[in-house]
Structure 1
Amino acid sequence: MHFKKGKSILIEKVDCNEHKSLCSKYGVSGCPTVQWLPKGSLEPKKYEGARSAKALLSL
C-alpha cells in the first residue's frame, strides 16, 4: 500500500486476547476497531472513515 508522498504510516494489528492491557489502555472494547495517532501524539483518534484501501490512501 502506498500513501501520499511524504507521509509515514505504520499499520498494526493487535490481538486483544493476547494484549489485554494495551487494548484497555487505548479503549478498544470490540473488534474491528481502527484508531490512528497523529504525528507526535500519544492520544489515539477513532477512525470513522470507510474501511477500504482507497479510503486509507486518502489519509
Structure 2
Amino acid sequence: MSLTLFYHFGFFFVAFLLFHRWISISGFTSYVVRAPAGQVSWIIGLMARVDVWPTGPVGKVI
C-alpha cells in the first residue's frame, strides 16, 4: 500500500467515524481511548485485511 493511499484511507476512516457518530474531535479521542481491546483488534485486523486484499482470495479470483 502506497503512503499516499494510506493517508487517504486513514483520512476517510476518521471522517467516516466522525460523520457516522456525529461527534466532535474531543469525543472521538475519548471514544478511541475507551475503546475495548476487542474493537481495537478488529480495527487493526480490518486494516490488515485491506492492506493484503490483492493477495487474498478475492484478489486471486480477479
Shorter-chain TM-score bucket reads under 0.3
Q: If the length of structure 2 is used for normalisation, what is the TM-score?
A: 0.20
Q: Which has the larger radius of gyration?
A: 2
More strand by share: 1
More helix by share: 2
Q: If the length of structure 1 is used for normalisation, what is the TM-score?
A: 0.21
